[in-house]
Structure 1
Amino acid sequence: MVSHFGEVIFPSSRAFWDDEDEYEAVENLEHRPKLHVCWLKNKPERMQKFIIIEGEPLIPFVKQCLCHNKEEVCIIENENHKKISVIYHIDKQIYLCIILPQFDTKDAGTLVNQISDLLLNTESTISIVCRHVSQFQSTNIPETPSFLRILATKNANVSKYKIEPLEQPNIVFGVGAGVLSYAELTGISAKLYMLYIDNFVLDSKCAEPLLQVLTNEIDCKLQCPKSTENFFSKGNLYM
């Protein structure tokens, strides 16, 4: 596995770690959360890119940039039939998965296991995660409204993007971390972008690195966000 991981949440699943499963109590297996994947359109047999968006500040921005006039092709619900994730068909063989705010991060391993067939049939998987800069641990924090860090599998080419790797002891958790771990173990090409912002909402200035990533990774037209949208006018909150 890539050596520069800080920490990931290890999901309890045979698809990830066989040894741990041998010693799990039967009652723990019975109480694992159950997620339901429902395809509203034909499930793709092959995808060129599968993009995963995680972190509440990203959702309204990405929905307008990429999901404008796009249909939901798949929804994922928890055992209480509450929607926790949505997959959109963006263009040709490009699909986008949004992890909704109501998703419980501790179930990340279960969700990754549920979409593992999609990951195995994808040429490249890209996760974009948003965190507040207060969660970034470093002696040299950039004095900018936002900045990017990257983690990638060994077979992913990231040299052309000139983005610094996420250094230790920073922590990576959630679906993005689970997908990257799964990709490394199965030989899939995957990248995870960490967008750190100094705000609790994504304003136009903070969004600039995100637009750079989307432009580099997706060969399709982006719907430019309007400055009057709520995610640009909620005001600033600082810790």
Structure 2
Amino acid sequence: MTTFGEINEPSSRTAWEDWDEVLFTENYIELRLEKEIEVPKQIDTFIILEGKYLFDCVRAHHELELVNASPEVNLRLFKTKKLNNYVCMIRDYNLILSSEIVEMLKKYINVSTDVVGVLTKPLVEYQVSELVTNDYVIRCLSASQPTSDLDKTFPHLEQPNIISGVSAGALCWREVNDKPAMVIVCYIEHPEEVQIQELNNLLEKFKVIPHVEKTHRDNLLNSNLYI
């Protein structure tokens, strides 16, 4: 007789696994920004950049002014020098802390007219019926009220693809509060070798980096090292 679909409870505690009663004992870190500074009353666009690829695209340029940071989660908060935009750059953080990070940034997210998240993911995680032949695929996911400038720039993310992390948390928070927001997802096959013009155009549009013709990536392909 098959037991498929039935719930079999252990007859005694001896059948339990060792980890069934292990409690989460890691020291809890209360996330906070380093400086206690006044949050502006109004921000035009709050931009969240997630991942090493975006960090490398931006770090060599000086269009941003450092405002605050949270070293525990590798987060830096900048203000653009030319526009009333704020940029949150974050990389190599514990995904479990996403909600706490969003909570830490909530004051900035709330006062922003628009919120735009940009994140990169491996191309192998992109689930679609047709064969993907490009080195990268760009899709977007928007709240019920999408950002006015970017609503029709990129195709919408198809099911069953999902996103997670700080950008996803910010998008959910804006949706709950009936405010515009959008997350742009870039699936990349070789992030260390690809320079994505569409993302460069987007970063230049919000004055995060200078004109795209002047941008360059500091990687092996741009060096004089031959192997």
Place the TM-score, normalised by the shorter chain, in its bin. 0.7 to 0.9
- Within 5 Å, which residues of 2 pair with 1:1-239? 32-39=28-35, 43-64=39-60, 67-68=61-62, 70-78=64-72, 84-90=74-80, 91-101=82-92, 103-156=93-146, 157=148, 158-161=150-153, 163-201=154-192, 203-204=194-195, 207-216=196-205, 218=206, 222-223=210-211, 224-226=214-216, 229-230=218-219, 232-233=221-222
1:69 CA drift (Å): 5.4
Q: Would the aligned equivalents of 2:67 and 2:77 in 1 still touch at CA under 8 Å?
A: yes
Letter in 2 for 1:210: L
Distance 1:74 1:202, change over 3 A: farther
Q: Unpaired runs of 5+ in structure 1? A: 1-26, 235-239
The CA deviation string for residues 25-68 of structure 1, in whole angstroms up to 9 with x for no partner, is xx98x96541011238653221001100001222111223xx52
Q: What is the aligned partner in structure 2 of residue 8 from structure 1?
A: none
Residue identity matched to 1:182:
W
**Structure 2: which 5+ residue stretches go unaligned?**
1-22
Aligned length: 195
C-alpha distance in 2 between matches for 1:199 and 1:139: 21
State the one-letter code of the partner of 2:54: L
Amino acid paired to 2:157: L
How far apart are residue 144 of structure 1 and its match?
A: 1.6
TM-score (norm 1): 0.72
| Aligned-residue offset at 1:231 | 6.8
Which of these two proteins has the greater Rg computed from alpha carbons? 2
Q: Equivalent residue for 1:6?
A: none
Q: Decide whether the 8 Å contact of 2:39 with 2:108 is kept in 1.
A: no
Question: What amino acid does structure 1 have at the position aligned with 2:64?
Answer: K
Look up the SS of the partner of 1:36 in the other structure: coil
Find the residue that maps to 2:160 and give its secondary structure: coil
Structure number with higher relative contact order (C-alpha < 8 Å, ≥ 6 residues apart): 1
- For 1:68, give the aligned amino acid: H
What are the Cα deviations for residues 60-81 of structure 1, in whole angstroms up to 9, with x where unaligned?
11223xx525331111243xxx
In the alignment, the residues of structure 2 paired with residue 220 and residue 174 of structure 1 have an alpha-carbon distance, to the nearest angstrom, of 21
Preserved CA contact (<8 Å) 2:116 2:181: yes
What's the offset of the Cα at 1:169? 1.1
The one-letter code matched in structure 2 to 1:119 is: I
CA contact (8 A) 1:50 1:94 kept: yes
CA gap 1:140/1:77 in 2 versus in 1, 3 angstroms: same
Query: What is the deviation of 1:199?
Result: 0.5
CA distance in 2, matches of 1:115, 1:148: 26
Structure 2 residue matching 1:160: 3-state secondary structure:
coil
TM-score where L is the length of structure 2: 0.76
Deviation of 1:106 after TM superposition, in Å, equals 0.9
C-alpha distance in structure 1 between counterparts of 2:86 and 2:220, whole Å: 23
Distance 1:31 1:183 in 2: 30
Q: 1:159 and 1:121, CA in 2 relative to 1: closer, same or farther beyond 3 A?
A: closer
Q: CA deviation at 1:111?
A: 0.5
Q: C-alpha displacement at 1:164, in angstroms?
A: 1.2
Query: In structure 1, what is the Cα distance between the partners aligned to 2:130 and 2:29?
Result: 40
